[in-house]
């Protein structure tokens, strides 16, 4: 592994605290030490990067996405959420092949790296293709194979998902695995409990969609007398580590079921685009353990959790008529909180932690002048301000340039797009309601 000295940097930690004039040493993928810039010592074996005027922060986490859906970015626009799923996404997905998923995952990973994301929680199928895409791009991933309990091949899906977890759990330090029941309404009754019981036996967590829309919650109460959160609780879902995608319409009454094993992944850009309503998360955010995901690029169009955090803050201020709430520090800490949902040794700039870091150049027209660097990052920055993205001590973006062969990836993706359109829509095994 390379040895790096990030010289004379300004460091912003996971709590938003700023330290200046720091030399940061990285060895064997880990942060070895932080010393004052004035401390002269032998550094010949380290590759130096002059960070004078730059800011170093922990990297970002995308806590909920469907990375292969990058292959369908823009395929379903300006339609209702029911039609988005049932007339566009599910029918096209039904004819996707392993190669489609691989290249969708690759271009998604590269987009995330460009946006400063070094780890993401994925929820999709053809999980072997997703695993390979993660390995080939160098990013970190947490893979949850999607399981549809109402599909006619549910038992086969569960069996294959269990086999996947058994095969890959602990195999790669940058890839973790868990089970991915789609949602309580597509995994009803004892099916959800069966999946969660399997996760317990495997000693892994789960990742699923819960209480996405008001209609989901109302239908759940009408059919079962319980909210989706209550169903998840009674199925043992809070007895394991659980990533709750969205939870937009979580209720106050649901709070008694939720514990610290759960991390909510908010994706406000999707909620706006698909007109999913205000929900309750802006009222309940101080009582929920949350960070941000992007959902798939077919709904959010970009894979940038910083953008999602920005929308969350602005929406919150607007909806709650309170300009002083959803403040910069709260939003930054929530972004950083995504690291805590994983088993990776990341998210802090401290000795012994893995070096998953971003180096920011805020000396640009879009971010200058800098009164508060966190303000500049959260409200003004874009991917061009991220000069370096490092994962476990390896640069995947260096001096503004991605390590990946971007022209080749785009060419492959365009070829896959042609094949998808030629195949057309198929018949989905499930429906959204």
pLDDT tens digits, residue range 100-136?
999 999 999 999 999 999 999 999 999 999 999 999 9
CA nearest neighbour of 140 among 355, 307, 416: 355
Residue intervals of the chain classified under CATH 3.20.20.140 are 60-341
Tens of pLDDT, residues 351-363: 999 999 999 999 9
Residue 41: the pLDDT is: 64
Residue 45: the pLDDT is: 86
Q: Where are the alpha helices (DSSP H) in 208-327?
A: 214-224, 228-234, 268-273, 281-284, 297-300, 305-319
Tens of pLDDT, residues 191-248: 999 999 999 999 999 999 999 999 999 999 999 999 999 999 999 999 999 999 999 9
pLDDT of 39 over the 70 cut: no
pLDDT of 149 over the 80 cut: yes
Distance of CA 391 to the CA centre of its chain: 15
pLDDT of 38 over the 80 cut: no
Q: What are phi and psi of 75, to 5 degrees?
A: -80, -20
Q: What is d(CA 90, CA 200) in angstroms, rounded to the nearest whole number?
A: 30
pLDDT of 12 over the 60 cut: yes
Please say whether the structural domain 4-58+351-402 has been given the CATH code 2.40.10.10.
no
Tens of pLDDT, residues 234-260: 999 999 999 999 999 999 999 999 999
Question: DSSP label at 172?
Answer: B
pLDDT band at 30 (very low <50, low <70, confident <90, very high): very high
pLDDT of 42 over the 60 cut: no
- The stretch 377-386 carries a mean pLDDT of 98
SS3 64: strand
CA nearest neighbour of 310 among 299, 289, 294: 294
Residue 186: the pLDDT is: 96
Residue intervals of the chain classified under CATH 2.30.40.10 are 4-58+351-402
Residue 282: the pLDDT is: 98
Residue 244: the pLDDT is: 98
Q: What is d(CA 391, CA 319) in angstroms, rounded to the nearest whole number?
A: 37
Please say whether the structural domain 60-341 has been given the CATH code 3.20.20.140.
yes
Residue 213: the pLDDT is: 97
Residue 360: the pLDDT is: 98
Task: Give, in order, the Cα–Cα distances in Å from 126 to each of 67, 71, 162, 221.
Answer: 12, 14, 13, 33
CA nearest neighbour of 271 among 57, 16, 64: 64
Tens of pLDDT, residues 173-187: 999 999 999 999 999
pLDDT band at 432 (very low <50, low <70, confident <90, very high): confident
Does residue 147 contact residue 179 with C-beta atoms inside 8 Å? Answer: yes
- The stretch 33-48 carries a mean pLDDT of 79
Task: Give, in order, the Cα–Cα distances in Å from 227 to each of 84, 184, 275, 340.
Answer: 24, 10, 21, 27
pTM beyond 0.95: the answer is yes
- The stretch 287-299 carries a mean pLDDT of 97
Does residue 63 contact residue 121 with C-beta atoms inside 8 Å? Answer: yes
On average, the pLDDT of the chain sits at 96
Residue 310: the pLDDT is: 98
Q: What are phi and psi of 55, to 5 degrees?
A: -115, 140
Residue 142, Cβ density class (10 Å: 0-12 exposed, 13-18 middle, ≥19 buried):
buried
Residue 2: the pLDDT is: 85
């Amino acid at each position: 592994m390379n040895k790096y000295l990030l010289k004379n940097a300004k460091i912003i930690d996971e709590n938003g605290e700023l330290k200046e004039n720091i030399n940061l040493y990285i060895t064997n993928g880990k942060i070895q030490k932080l010393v004052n810039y004035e401390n002269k010592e032998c550094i010949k074996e380290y590759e130096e990067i002059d960070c004078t005027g730059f800011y170093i922060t922990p990297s970002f986490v995308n806590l909920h996405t469907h990375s292969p859906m990058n292959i369908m970015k823009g395929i379903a626009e300006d339609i209702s959420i029911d039609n988005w799923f049932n007339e566009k996404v599910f029918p096209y997905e039904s004819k996707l092949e392993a190669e489609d998923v691989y290249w969708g995952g690759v271009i998604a990973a590269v987009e995330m790296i460009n946006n400063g994301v070094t780890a993401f929680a994925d929820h999709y199928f053809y999980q072997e293709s997703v695993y390979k895409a993660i390995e080939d791009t160098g990013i970190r991933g947490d893979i949850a194979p999607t399981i549809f309990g109402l599909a006619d091949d549910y038992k086969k899906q569960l069996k294959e998902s269990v086999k996947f977890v058994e095969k890959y759990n602990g195999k790669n330090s940058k890839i973790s695995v868990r089970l991915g029941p789609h949602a309580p309404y597509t995994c009803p009754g004892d099916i959800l409990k069966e999946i969660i019981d399997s996760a317990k036996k495997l000693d892994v967590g789960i990742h699923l969609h819960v209480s996405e829309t008001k209609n989901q919650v109302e239908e759940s109460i009408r059919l079962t007398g319980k909210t989706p959160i209550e169903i998840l609780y009674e199925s043992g879902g809070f007895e394991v580590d659980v990533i709750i995608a969205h939870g937009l319409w979580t209720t106050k009454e649901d709070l008694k079921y939720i514990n610290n094993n759960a991390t909510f992944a908010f994706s406000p850009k999707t909620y706006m685009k698909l007109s999913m309503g205000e929900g309750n998360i802006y009222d309940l955010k101080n009582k929920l353990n949350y960070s941000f995901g992007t959902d798939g690029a077919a709904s959010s169009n970009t894979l940038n959790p910083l953008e999602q955090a920005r929308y969350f803050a602005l929406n919150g201020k607007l909806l709650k008529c309170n300009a002083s709430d959803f403040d910069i520090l709260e939003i930054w800490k929530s972004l950083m909180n995504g690291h805590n949902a994983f088993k990776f040794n990341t998210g802090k700039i401290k000795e012994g932690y893995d070096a998953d870091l971003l180096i920011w150049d805020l000396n640009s027209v879009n971010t200058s002048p800098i009164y508060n660097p966190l303000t500049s990052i959260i409200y003004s920055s874009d991917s061009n301000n991220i000069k370096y993205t490092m994962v476990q001590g390896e640069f995947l973006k260096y001096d503004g340039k991605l390590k990946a062969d971007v022209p080749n990836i785009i060419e492959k993706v365009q070829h896959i797009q042609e094949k998808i359109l030629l195949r057309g829509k198929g018949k989905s095994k499930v429906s959204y309601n």
